[in-house]
Amino acid sequence: MKIALIGYGKMGHELEKAALAQGHVIVATVDNPQEWTERLDLLKQADIAIEFSQPDQAFANINRCFDLRLPVVVGTTAWYDRLDEVKKRCLEEGQALFYAPNFSIGMNIMFLLNKQLARFADQYHYRISLAETHHIHKLDKPSGTAAKLANDIIAESSRYQSWSISEPYPADCLPIEVTREGEVFGIHSVIAESPADRITLTHEAFSREGLAQGALAAAQFLLGKKGVYTMEDFIK
């Protein structure tokens, strides 16, 4: 694949390393609005874009990819308040978008297990809480991964109507404990507790490698397709 990397921070560099190791070509890197103009000719050579930037840049970056009719894989989170707009344009124009809060295969297995746990917890009256820890540079709280875990629990549960990262927590509110420390790559835990016992699902990322490998696999999956896709489509 000829890949354009949109966002050239730590994740962008990890993607570059993984892509080159697999024999792909990085035709352009873009890290600010000015570079979209300066590197336009290079961007037009790309087969696909992989976007890991910042929450306040993602929406504009996706639309710039659409302007070039460039399929785009998006790993940035905390822009989903504009997801409906992006989906609408993608489908109306026959474009291609793959977005996910987390590209790790292991984390996506946990997403599936989380839904099962939520159903059983609802049936057998376990109370659920979440905890997530990331490095101090992460801007969004909670992480997009934690938000997905929480939203999936709410969808499967009759007990919870919302989630929050701040006390006090009403009875129908799912609590999320957020920690930012050091250079932690990401730890997510779902805890289901009863008066008798506790069940814990935990996923810990040891590096950014799993995210990079998953994003590259998603890019290969998206090539030649039109429409909107997620990791659930990929895993199936």
pLDDT at 228: 98
**Structure confidence by residue, pLDDT tens digits, 43-93:** 999 999 999 999 999 999 999 999 999 999 999 988 999 999 999 999 999
Which CATH class name applies to 2-103+209-235?
Answer: alpha beta
Residue 140 has pLDDT above 90, yes or no: no
Grade residue 235 by pLDDT with cuts at 50, 70 and 90. confident
Cα gap 226→90, rounded to integer Å: 8
Q: Which of 2, 125, 138, 148 is catalytic?
A: 138
C-alpha dist (Å) from residue 62 to 79, 85, 104, 139: 11, 11, 21, 19
Q: Average of pLDDT values for 219-228?
A: 98
Residue 236 has pLDDT above 90, yes or no: no
Q: Do 105-204 and 2-103+209-235 have the same topology in CATH?
A: no
Q: Establish whether 44 is a catalytic residue.
A: no
Give residue 171's Cα distance to chain centre.
Answer: 28
Q: Establish whether 125 is a catalytic residue.
A: no
Locate 155 and state its tokens: 């969808």
Burial profile 56-86: b = 16 or more Cβ within 10 angstroms, e = fewer: ebbbebbebbbebebbbbbbbbbbbeeeeeb
Q: Average of pLDDT values for 101-107?
A: 92
Locate 185 and state its tokens: 């790559």
Q: For the chain, percent helix, then strand, then coil, each to nearest 5?
A: 45, 25, 35
Mean pLDDT of the chain: 96
Cα gap 211→231, rounded to integer Å: 12
In the chain, domain spans: 2-103+209-235, 105-204
Quick check: 103 and 230 in contact, CB under 8 A?
Answer: no
Grade residue 139 by pLDDT with cuts at 50, 70 and 90. confident
Q: Which of 10, 88, 125, 134 is catalytic?
A: 134
Asked, as a colleague might, if the bond just before 142 is cis with ω within 30 of 0, I would say: yes
| Three-state secondary structure call for residue 118 | helix
Indicate the fold that domain 105-204 takes in CATH.
Dihydrodipicolinate Reductase; domain 2 (3.30.360)
Locate 48 and state its tokens: 């696909």
Angle among Cα 173, 103, 46 to the nearest 5 degrees reads 135
Quick check: 51 and 6 in contact, CB under 8 A?
Answer: yes
| Three-state secondary structure call for residue 3 | strand
Distant-in-sequence contacts of 141-144, Cβ < 8 A, 24+ apart: 141/165, 141/178, 141/180, 142/176, 142/178, 143/77, 143/101, 143/186, 143/188, 144/77, 144/78, 144/80, 144/101, 144/102
Q: Average of pLDDT values for 116-144?
A: 95
Cα gap 209→212, rounded to integer Å: 5
pTM: 0.85
In the chain, the percentage of residues whose pLDDT exceeds 70 is: 100
**Structure confidence by residue, pLDDT tens digits, 143-186:** 999 999 999 999 999 999 999 999 999 999 999 999 999 999 99
